[in-house]
Amino acid sequence: MDYHFNFTYIWRHFDRLANGLVLSLELALISILIGMVIGLTLALVHTDMGWKARALVAVYVESLRNVPLLLLVYLVFYGVPSIGGFEYSAETSFVITLSLYSGAYLVEVFRSGLDAVPAGLIEAGKAIGLTPWQRLVHVRIPTMFRISLPSLSNTYISLFKDTSIASVIAVPELTYGAQWINFNTFRIIEVYIVITPMYLVTGYAILIGLRQIENRFAIGVRS
């Protein structure tokens, strides 16, 4: 292999990678926050309401989970404006897509979290006279969050990796930055040698960080 490594090009354009990494983290964060709102609402609908509501939730969840994310990205970015007549930026459309996508996964996470709340805790809430709404807000949801914490952190890390797909609609996140450097400097191997640890280390750091948070909060839950 007579390839001559030359990292100077990479460092010259490193800001694309650094900014891209930050953007990836931001996109994932916004998407999971919106996704959590969607997921929690629909999980409550699914748990506490009738079969018709449950069926609608199932339609939403299954539609988003069984179609490739890439297709969803195209659908939202190219397809919707073409029939809606409006336009939005690539970033906006990607956040919408990823939020809907993560919402579909989080419905499952929150649903099983809600199911896992020990019945005795809910009874203890009843015993002190809390109304159903109060039991939901003060007992079920807080407990559900602590139970779901590990799944939530895994979901965030997954979403962080999924932001690489935004590169196909020219959102300047990390993979797009790498491809830009690839196409403009041909330093393909160097750039991948650089971004690989960027993804790995960031993912690992998030994992450790979230695990700390888990340990602080999850000590409260007794199974």
Partner 1 sequence: MKAAFESLPFLVDGLLVTLQITAIVVLISLVIGVAMGVALTYGSAWIRWPVRIYSDFIRGIPVLVLIFFAYYGLPAMGLNLDSFTAAVVALTAFKISHVIETTRGAIQSIHHGQMEAAKAIGLPFWQRLFSVIFPQAVRRFLPPWINTVADAAKGSALVSLIGVVDLMLAMQKVIGRTFEPMPIYIAGAIIYFLINYSLSTTSRRMESRFSYIRE
Partner 2 sequence: MSDPLVDIKGLKKSFGEVEVLKGIDLGIDSGQVVSLIGPSGSGKTTLLRCINFLVEYDEGSIRVDGREVGYEDDANSDRKPRGERELSAIRAQIGMVFQLFYLFPHLSALENIMLGLTKVRGLPKAEAHDIATGWLERVGLADKVDSLPAQLSGGQQQRVGIARAVAMEPKVLLLDEITSALDPELVGEVLAVVQSLAREGMTMIVVTHEMAFARDVGNRVVFMDEGRVLVDGPPTDVLDNPENERLRTFLTRLNPHFALEPH
Give me the residues that bind partner 2 (CB under 8 A), please.
118, 120-121, 123-132, 134, 138-139, 142-143, 146, 217, 219-222
217 binds partner 1 (CB under 8 A): no
Q: What does 208 interact with, of partner 2, partner 1, none (CB < 5 to 8 A by kind)?
A: none
- At closest approach, how far in Å is the CB of 221 from partner 2? 5
71 binds partner 1 (CB under 8 A): yes
Q: What does 127 interact with, of partner 2, partner 1, none (CB < 5 to 8 A by kind)?
A: partner 2
69 binds partner 1 (CB under 8 A): yes
208 binds partner 1 (CB under 8 A): no
DSSP the chain: -------HHHHHTHHHHHHHHHHHHHHHHHHHHHHHHHHHHHHHHHHHS-HHHHHHHHHHHHHHHSS-HHHHHHIIIIIHHHHH-----HHHHHHHHHHHHHHHHHHHHHHHHHHTS-HHHHHHHHHTT--HHHHIIIIIHHHHHHHHHHHHHHHHHHHHHHGGGGGGGT--SHHHHHHHHHHHH--HHHHHHHHHHHHHHHHHHHHHHHHHHHHHHHTT---
Q: From the list 83, 127, 128, 219, which residue makes contact with partner 1 (rule: CB under 8 A)?
A: 83
Nearer to partner 2, 4 or 222 (CB): 222
- At closest approach, how far in Å is the CB of 136 from partner 2? 12
Cα separation, 173 vs 26, in Å, equals: 10
> Mask: binding to partner 1, 8-47, rule CB under 8 A, as x and -?
----------------------------------------
Stretch of residues binding partner 1 (CB under 8 A), selected from 10-18, 29-37, 135-143, 162-170: 162-170
Spell out the residues 6+ positions from residue 117 whose beta carbon is closer than 8 angstroms to its own: 139, 140, 143, 144, 147
Q: From the list 124, 200, 205, 213, which residue makes contact with partner 1 (rule: CB under 8 A)?
A: 200
Nearer to partner 1, 30 or 168 (CB): 168
- At closest approach, how far in Å is the CB of 19 from partner 1? 17
Cα separation, 177 vs 166, in Å, equals: 11
